[in-house]
Amino acid sequence: MVETQLRHRGIQDERVLQVMREIPREEFVRPEAQVFAYQDDPVPIGFRQTISQPYMTALMAEVLELKGTETVLEVGTGSGYAAAVLGALAAEVITIELIPALADFARENLTRTGRHRNVLVIGGDGSLGYPPRAPYDAISVAAAAPEIPAALLSQLREPGRLVIPVGPTDDQELRVVFKTGGNLDSRIATLCRFVPLRGSQH
């Protein structure tokens, strides 16, 4: 997976590649889906949600340029896999999941793999961010929104980075936003297709 799906497609950050080599992705899917854990696609995790394609998780982690000191907010915990990856690259991760049963699934997966120590799973609506621990050095949104929720931009530290799929169902661009000196700059990292962000901001 690391060589053919990630490095071959341009993921260069050696820390990202190493972490994705180490974290057992099969521990973050349902037992009946374990044979699909390393395939080059999203994999269903129940409740019509998916664990993202490995390349997408790698790209989102890479564009955040984490050094190991950051507090990261993730919106859309799902299986907990991306949270585990971010946790290995940053100081701590707060991750929010709207579906309570998936928050429980992620907590179990993180604990079983020993990745829970610096990853806090919160049940709730991440379209509002998570004010108690703001501001965040980096924010990763794993569900697609028609536009970037204002609450997330306001909870981003300066300097800070946010990555989010933006656009209609089935046709989004993965946007990387840099917040610095009172300005927001953004670039498009790739085209993508994520499940929709729900909650009160949308």
Q: Which residues are catalytic?
A: 52
Question: What is the phi-psi region of residue 77: left when phi exceeds 0, alpha when psi lies from -120 to 50, beta otherwise?
Answer: alpha
The amino acid sitting at 68 is G
Select from 6, 150, 17, 143 the least CA-distant residue to 74.
143
Q: Please report how close the Cβ of residue 28 comes to ligand SAH at its closest, in angstroms.
A: 6
Contact between 75 and ligand SAH per CB under 6 A: yes
**Sites for ligand SAH among residues 105-164 (CB under 6 A):** 125-127, 142-143
Contact between residue 95 and residue 77 where contact means Cβ atoms under 8 Å apart: yes
Restricting to residues 5-44, name those near ligand SAH by CB under 6 A.
none
The distance in angstroms from the start CA to the end CA of the chain is 34
Question: For residues 148 and 188, is the Cβ–Cβ distance under 8 A?
Answer: no
Residue among 16, 19, 52, 94 that touches ligand SAH (CB under 6 A): 52
Give 17-45 as a DSSP string: HHHHHHS-GGGGS-GGGGGGTTSSS-EEE
| Residue number with CB closer to ligand SAH (37 or 177) | 37
Distance of CA 136 to the CA centre of its chain: 14
Query: Taking contact as CB under 6 A, which single stretch among the options 13-21, 77-85, 155-163, 169-177 is the one that binds ligand SAH?
Result: 77-85
Q: How many positions of this chain bind ligand SAH (CB under 6 A)?
A: 25
Residue 40 or 185 having the CB closest to ligand SAH: 40
Q: Which CB sits closer to ligand SAH, 158 or 162?
A: 162
Binding site for ligand SAH (CB under 6 A): 49-52, 57, 75-76, 78-79, 81-82, 96-99, 102, 125-127, 142-143, 195, 197-199
